[in-house]
Amino acid sequence: MEFLKAKFGCTDSQIRPYTFNLQTFIASKKAIQQGYLGSEPFSIKRATGEMPVVLLVADAAFAGYASLLATSDKNIDTRADLVKRFVDASVEGWNSYLTGDPTPANMLIKRANPEMTDALIAYGRGSLIQHGILTSGDAAKLGIGAMTAARWNAFYQATESEGLYPKGMDISKAYTLKSIK
Protein backbone atom coordinates (compact mmCIF):
# COMPACT_ATOMS: atom_id res chain seq x y z
CA MET A 1 0.00 0.00 0.00
CA GLU A 2 2.81 2.42 0.83
CA PHE A 3 4.25 1.88 -2.65
CA LEU A 4 0.93 2.75 -4.31
CA LYS A 5 0.51 5.81 -2.09
CA ALA A 6 3.96 7.05 -3.05
CA LYS A 7 3.66 6.13 -6.73
CA PHE A 8 0.15 7.50 -7.37
CA GLY A 9 -0.28 10.12 -4.66
CA CYS A 10 -3.04 8.41 -2.74
CA THR A 11 -3.70 9.80 0.69
CA ASP A 12 -4.57 8.07 3.94
CA SER A 13 -8.06 9.59 3.74
CA GLN A 14 -8.69 7.54 0.58
CA ILE A 15 -7.60 4.26 2.12
CA ARG A 16 -9.81 1.89 4.04
CA PRO A 17 -8.78 -1.31 5.77
CA TYR A 18 -9.09 -4.41 3.65
CA THR A 19 -12.00 -6.27 5.23
CA PHE A 20 -12.43 -9.07 2.68
CA ASN A 21 -15.88 -7.57 2.02
CA LEU A 22 -16.72 -6.44 -1.51
CA GLN A 23 -19.90 -4.48 -0.72
CA THR A 24 -18.33 -1.01 -0.76
CA PHE A 25 -16.69 -1.73 -4.09
CA ILE A 26 -19.88 -3.15 -5.58
CA ALA A 27 -21.98 -0.24 -4.27
CA SER A 28 -19.76 2.55 -5.63
CA LYS A 29 -18.52 2.98 -9.18
CA LYS A 30 -15.81 5.29 -7.77
CA ALA A 31 -14.35 2.75 -5.35
CA ILE A 32 -11.26 0.69 -5.96
CA GLN A 33 -10.60 -2.52 -4.10
CA GLN A 34 -7.49 -4.39 -3.13
CA GLY A 35 -7.95 -8.03 -3.80
CA TYR A 36 -6.55 -11.31 -4.89
CA LEU A 37 -6.52 -12.08 -8.61
CA GLY A 38 -7.75 -15.59 -7.97
CA SER A 39 -10.87 -14.77 -5.98
CA GLU A 40 -12.23 -11.21 -5.80
CA PRO A 41 -12.85 -10.78 -9.55
CA PHE A 42 -14.79 -14.08 -9.52
CA SER A 43 -16.90 -12.96 -6.56
CA ILE A 44 -17.57 -9.53 -8.08
CA LYS A 45 -18.66 -11.03 -11.40
CA ARG A 46 -20.88 -13.46 -9.56
CA ALA A 47 -22.51 -10.63 -7.58
CA THR A 48 -22.83 -8.08 -10.39
CA GLY A 49 -22.65 -10.00 -13.65
CA GLU A 50 -19.72 -7.79 -14.68
CA MET A 51 -16.03 -8.58 -14.64
CA PRO A 52 -14.13 -5.80 -12.83
CA VAL A 53 -11.09 -4.08 -14.28
CA VAL A 54 -8.10 -5.77 -12.67
CA LEU A 55 -4.84 -3.86 -12.35
CA LEU A 56 -1.84 -5.82 -11.16
CA VAL A 57 0.48 -3.94 -8.84
CA ALA A 58 3.34 -5.47 -10.84
CA ASP A 59 2.15 -3.41 -13.83
CA ALA A 60 2.91 -0.27 -11.79
CA ALA A 61 6.60 -1.32 -11.59
CA PHE A 62 6.31 -3.04 -8.23
CA ALA A 63 8.92 -5.77 -8.53
CA GLY A 64 8.53 -7.27 -5.07
CA TYR A 65 7.71 -10.89 -4.45
CA ALA A 66 4.05 -11.45 -3.58
CA SER A 67 4.70 -14.38 -1.26
CA LEU A 68 7.81 -15.42 0.56
CA LEU A 69 8.80 -18.26 2.81
CA ALA A 70 10.20 -16.79 5.98
CA THR A 71 12.38 -18.34 8.65
CA SER A 72 15.10 -17.21 11.03
CA ASP A 73 18.77 -16.81 10.18
CA LYS A 74 19.37 -19.43 12.86
CA ASN A 75 17.25 -22.01 10.99
CA ILE A 76 18.98 -21.19 7.72
CA ASP A 77 22.38 -21.67 9.36
CA THR A 78 21.69 -24.66 11.62
CA ARG A 79 18.92 -26.48 9.77
CA ALA A 80 19.85 -25.74 6.16
CA ASP A 81 18.80 -29.19 4.95
CA LEU A 82 15.34 -28.83 6.51
CA VAL A 83 14.90 -25.37 5.00
CA LYS A 84 15.98 -26.63 1.57
CA ARG A 85 13.62 -29.62 1.76
CA PHE A 86 10.74 -27.29 2.71
CA VAL A 87 11.51 -24.97 -0.21
CA ASP A 88 11.85 -27.91 -2.61
CA ALA A 89 8.57 -29.45 -1.39
CA SER A 90 6.79 -26.12 -1.83
CA VAL A 91 8.07 -25.81 -5.40
CA GLU A 92 7.12 -29.43 -6.14
CA GLY A 93 3.64 -28.82 -4.71
CA TRP A 94 3.04 -25.74 -6.86
CA ASN A 95 4.34 -27.51 -9.98
CA SER A 96 2.05 -30.44 -9.30
CA TYR A 97 -0.94 -28.21 -8.61
CA LEU A 98 -0.52 -26.11 -11.74
CA THR A 99 0.45 -28.84 -14.21
CA GLY A 100 -1.01 -32.02 -12.74
CA ASP A 101 -4.26 -33.16 -11.21
CA PRO A 102 -5.37 -30.45 -8.75
CA THR A 103 -8.00 -32.67 -7.10
CA PRO A 104 -5.98 -33.68 -4.00
CA ALA A 105 -4.98 -30.08 -3.28
CA ASN A 106 -8.50 -28.83 -3.94
CA MET A 107 -9.85 -31.31 -1.41
CA LEU A 108 -7.39 -30.00 1.20
CA ILE A 109 -8.31 -26.39 0.35
CA LYS A 110 -12.02 -27.16 0.83
CA ARG A 111 -11.34 -29.03 4.06
CA ALA A 112 -9.40 -26.04 5.44
CA ASN A 113 -11.97 -23.54 4.14
CA PRO A 114 -15.42 -25.07 3.55
CA GLU A 115 -16.66 -21.80 2.00
CA MET A 116 -14.48 -22.42 -1.05
CA THR A 117 -16.52 -23.78 -3.93
CA ASP A 118 -15.27 -25.91 -6.79
CA ALA A 119 -16.00 -23.02 -9.17
CA LEU A 120 -14.01 -20.51 -7.11
CA ILE A 121 -11.06 -22.86 -6.73
CA ALA A 122 -11.07 -23.59 -10.48
CA TYR A 123 -11.20 -19.84 -11.21
CA GLY A 124 -8.31 -19.18 -8.84
CA ARG A 125 -6.13 -21.92 -10.29
CA GLY A 126 -7.01 -20.77 -13.82
CA SER A 127 -6.06 -17.18 -12.95
CA LEU A 128 -2.70 -18.30 -11.59
CA ILE A 129 -2.04 -20.20 -14.81
CA GLN A 130 -3.44 -17.58 -17.22
CA HIS A 131 -1.48 -14.71 -15.70
CA GLY A 132 1.68 -16.71 -15.07
CA ILE A 133 1.62 -15.71 -11.40
CA LEU A 134 4.06 -18.48 -10.48
CA THR A 135 5.62 -19.14 -13.87
CA SER A 136 6.49 -15.80 -15.46
CA GLY A 137 9.45 -13.47 -15.05
CA ASP A 138 12.47 -15.24 -13.60
CA ALA A 139 10.38 -18.37 -13.05
CA ALA A 140 9.92 -18.76 -16.81
CA LYS A 141 13.65 -19.51 -17.05
CA LEU A 142 14.53 -20.70 -13.56
CA GLY A 143 11.33 -22.45 -12.51
CA ILE A 144 8.71 -21.90 -9.81
CA GLY A 145 10.30 -20.60 -6.64
CA ALA A 146 12.94 -18.60 -8.49
CA MET A 147 14.40 -15.71 -6.58
CA THR A 148 17.22 -13.48 -7.73
CA ALA A 149 19.39 -10.73 -6.35
CA ALA A 150 18.57 -8.71 -9.48
CA ARG A 151 14.85 -8.74 -8.71
CA TRP A 152 15.44 -7.85 -5.07
CA ASN A 153 17.53 -4.94 -6.31
CA ALA A 154 14.81 -3.84 -8.75
CA PHE A 155 12.29 -3.91 -5.89
CA TYR A 156 14.61 -1.86 -3.71
CA GLN A 157 15.30 0.66 -6.48
CA ALA A 158 11.57 1.15 -7.15
CA THR A 159 10.67 1.56 -3.49
CA GLU A 160 13.74 3.61 -2.58
CA SER A 161 13.02 6.01 -5.46
CA GLU A 162 9.54 6.55 -3.97
CA GLY A 163 11.09 7.34 -0.58
CA LEU A 164 9.96 4.13 1.11
CA TYR A 165 13.43 2.88 2.02
CA PRO A 166 16.60 4.81 2.77
CA LYS A 167 19.30 5.25 0.15
CA GLY A 168 22.22 2.89 0.46
CA MET A 169 20.39 0.22 2.42
CA ASP A 170 22.03 -3.23 2.26
CA ILE A 171 19.16 -5.28 0.87
CA SER A 172 21.23 -8.45 0.69
CA LYS A 173 20.49 -8.87 4.40
CA ALA A 174 16.76 -9.17 3.65
CA TYR A 175 16.98 -12.51 1.84
CA THR A 176 19.09 -15.55 1.07
CA LEU A 177 19.42 -17.57 -2.10
CA LYS A 178 20.98 -20.54 -0.25
CA SER A 179 17.93 -22.79 -0.50
CA ILE A 180 16.95 -21.92 -4.07
CA LYS A 181 17.78 -24.37 -6.86
User: DSSP secondary structure string, 114-171?
Assistant: TT--HHHHHHHHHHHHHTTTTTSTHHHHH-TT---HHHHHHHHHHHHHTTSS-TT--G
d(CA 93, CA 91): 5
User: What percent of the chain clears pLDDT 90, i.e. is strictly above it?
Assistant: 62
Residues 60 and 31 in one domain: yes
Res. 4 pLDDT band, cuts 50 70 90: confident
Res. 145 pLDDT band, cuts 50 70 90: very high
Q: Is residue 178 part of a domain?
A: no
Residues 137 and 157 in one domain: no
Q: Is residue 175 part of a domain?
A: no
Q: What is the count of structural domains for the chain?
A: 2
**Chain centroid offset of residue 31 CA:** 22
Per-residue pLDDT at 172 exceeds 90: yes
Per-residue pLDDT at 152 exceeds 90: yes
- Determine the pLDDT at residue 164: 86
Q: Is residue 53 part of a domain?
A: yes
Per-residue pLDDT at 84 exceeds 80: yes
Residues 140 and 156 in one domain: no
Q: Is residue 159 part of a domain?
A: yes
Q: Is residue 13 part of a domain?
A: yes
Show the domain range for 127.
66-146
Residues 45 and 84 in one domain: no
Q: Is residue 129 part of a domain?
A: yes
Q: Is residue 181 part of a domain?
A: no
